[in-house]
Amino acid sequence: MTALKYADYLRLETLFSLQEMRTPATDDRAVALAEQFFIITHQSCELWLKQVVADLDAVVQTLTPPCGPDDLELGVEFLLRTGEILRVLHHQLLALEKLPIRHFVEFRPRLDTASGVQSAQFRQLTGLLGDDRNPGSLYEAFTAAVGYHNLSVAEVCRLGVSARTLHRIVEALLEIGNGYWHWKVAHLALISKMVGNIEGTGGSSGIEFLLRRIIRPFPELRRLRGQLH
């Protein structure tokens, strides 16, 4: 039996073949490299979103009653990992700021109607985190877990560290909410810098459209926490 190798385990040959630039090879090499940078950043984002969505789906399952102490602790682990990944996503946007605008304007027309707003995984994440109108499946699972332990979310917030793992979940949820918000604000700033007020590639209104989509998840939890002050 042939020993498994690093490149085979990660399927690197396949992975490296997935960056198909639309900039012709005969064009400026700097533009082609800029497009490759653009593609790699967005592909990496989708890979991280795959992990985030999977982890948060797992949290929903662990918090669904009956949920014992081990379930709650496992949920905390998933939530903390998600918080770190959101930091990675934020820093990827900071890296993308190094994409020269003069190169971006060269290959942007080749994107045609492709747009990040079409990301199915981002829509899944939005459904998990919720907004001002929809609490989201993640927060609904948390309130169910709190109720299973004969408490309310307000009581958990008031008890603080005395609520033990439930308190840690509150802190992790708020960290995720803030991390998500920072990520989206950074994205808005990047788009504003790169394209100004022109339309998005997917036909959206651009900056105005993105501005409306910037939300801070878990509004009720933030309100209840704020009452402690």
The per-residue pLDDT for range 93-116, each reduced to its tens digit, is: 999 999 999 999 999 999 988 888
- pLDDT band, residue 148 (cuts 50/70/90): very high
H helices within the chain, ranges in order?
A: 6-9, 12-16, 29-63, 69-96, 101-107, 120-129, 137-148, 153-159, 165-195, 207-213, 219-226
How far apart CA 18 and CA 43 sit, in angstroms, is 9
190 located within any domain: yes
1 located within any domain: no
CB-CB contact of 42 with 67 (8 Å): no
Amino acid found at 67: C
CATH number at residue 188: 1.20.58.480
209 located within any domain: yes
The residue behind tokens 């747009």 is 115
Q: Which two tokens mark 156?
A: 């958990």
Q: Which two tokens mark 225?
A: 């926490």
14 located within any domain: no
- pLDDT band, residue 133 (cuts 50/70/90): confident
Domain extent for 79: 28-226
Number of structural domains (the chain) is 1
222 located within any domain: yes
22 located within any domain: no
92 located within any domain: yes
Model pTM score? 0.91
11 located within any domain: no
